[in-house]
Structure 1
Amino acid sequence: MTQPTRNVSLFELFRGFATIGLLGFGGVAAISRHIIVEKSQWLSEKEYATILGMGQVLPGPNVVNASVVIGDRFQGVKGSLISVLGLMVPPICILLILASLYDNFSHLQGVNVALIGGAAAAAGMIIGTGLKMAQKIKPGVAGWLIIVAVLVSILVLKWPLVYVVLGLIPSALALTYWLSKK
């Protein structure tokens, strides 16, 4: 990975990751790409995909893992800490408030309907982000074969995500290597 072309301050890291945390309804993957690649231009599309991919194979939430790497890239250990705090603290404060409100109003039918609608919107955002990233990265034959294998494994065969990831990582590496030798 290349060295950063510009310096990103601790405040910028906190503000960027706090924005990601606050706007990441149903997951932060969709908005994190927008903030990091498009709005702030901290990373290129390829750099972001690489860091997010590393975050996915490490234990823990992928965007939290990516925030550690990105924070470290620009500000070292302090940057990692600030990025994670920005990503986690504001949403946790809001979550505590919402949990208290839900505890008081969960008996209302409208509350449950709103939660179902929010979950559907979040799923749509995740699918849209994946498609947008695939268009810009241009995965090639190996990438599309892996994408199809993941979708079939999860949607058709109903395999647990952890088995799909653990099983397809070696397959993806082997396939990519084999196709690059052709």
Structure 2
Amino acid sequence: MQHDPSATPRRNISKAELFFGFLKIGLLGFGGVAPWARHIIVEERRWLSDREFAEILGIGQVLPGPNTINAAVIIGDRNQGIVGVLLCLLGQMAMPLVIVTLLAVVYDRVAAIPEVGAALIGAAAASAGLVLGTALKMIRNIRPTPLSYAIGAAGFAAIGLLRWPLVPVVLVLVPTAIAATWWERRK
């Protein structure tokens, strides 16, 4: 990662801070964890700058598995090694596991009620709004280059408009983005 002048100063985050930070992310992460992860990691705890968070989330996006889980692994490893990784993962997954298990029991009893279906559609719309709002906030703070916008637009067009499969699009766009960014910074 390139040095970001607006980056937060590096400090070693304690094991307890990692666990409770990611516990809070997991507890609040309904409708998508990324908006809450960004809020807690960047704004509240100031562990990373927006650029650093975007870079880690980007790495997490191209790796197998959920991007915020991958980010937890990276952040935990950087600060407390394997113990930090385990604490971040446990923190992020503990409360969702408990809550989802309880919700599954309740949903099993009320799934046939039409209002429940309508409420789930509304929750999905709210979740999409959270993701879009977080993306716009990150764009405002990291100020992408025109090349970054072009790559993002290509991804949106390929997946959102043309409905091409995700894996081939990622396999083409990631190396293209890396090469284009390298070429752009070389100038």
Relative to the length of structure 2, the TM-score reads: 0.91
1:172 maps to 2:177: yes
The residue that corresponds to 1:39 in the other structure is: 44
The residue that corresponds to 1:137 in the other structure is: 142
Are the aligned partners of 1:10 and 1:75 in contact in 2 as well (CA < 8 Å)? yes
Unaligned regions of 5+ residues in structure 2, if any?
none
Match of 1:150 among 144, 147, 155: 155
1:55 maps to 2:60: yes
Are the aligned partners of 2:159 and 2:169 in contact in 1 as well (CA < 8 Å)? yes
SS at match of 1:6: coil
Identity %: 53
CA shift for structure 1 position 67: 0.2
Q: Distance in 2 between matches of 1:14 and 1:117?
A: 32
User: Which string of whole-angstrom CA distances, capped at 9 and with x for unpartnered residues, describes residues 11-39 of structure 1?
Assistant: 21111111111111122111101100000
CA shift for structure 1 position 54: 1.4
User: Which string of whole-angstrom CA distances, capped at 9 and with x for unpartnered residues, describes residues 107-149 of structure 1?
Assistant: 1111111111111100111011111111111110110111111
1:76 maps to 2:62: no
SS at match of 1:41: coil
Give the stretch that moved more between structures: 95-104 or 130-139: 130-139
Q: Distance in 2 between matches of 1:77 and 1:4?
A: 22
RMSD: 1.7
Q: Distance in 2 between matches of 1:88 and 1:4?
A: 28
1:101 maps to 2:109: no
Q: In the comparison of the two structures, how many residue pairs are matched?
A: 182
Relative to the length of structure 1, the TM-score reads: 0.93
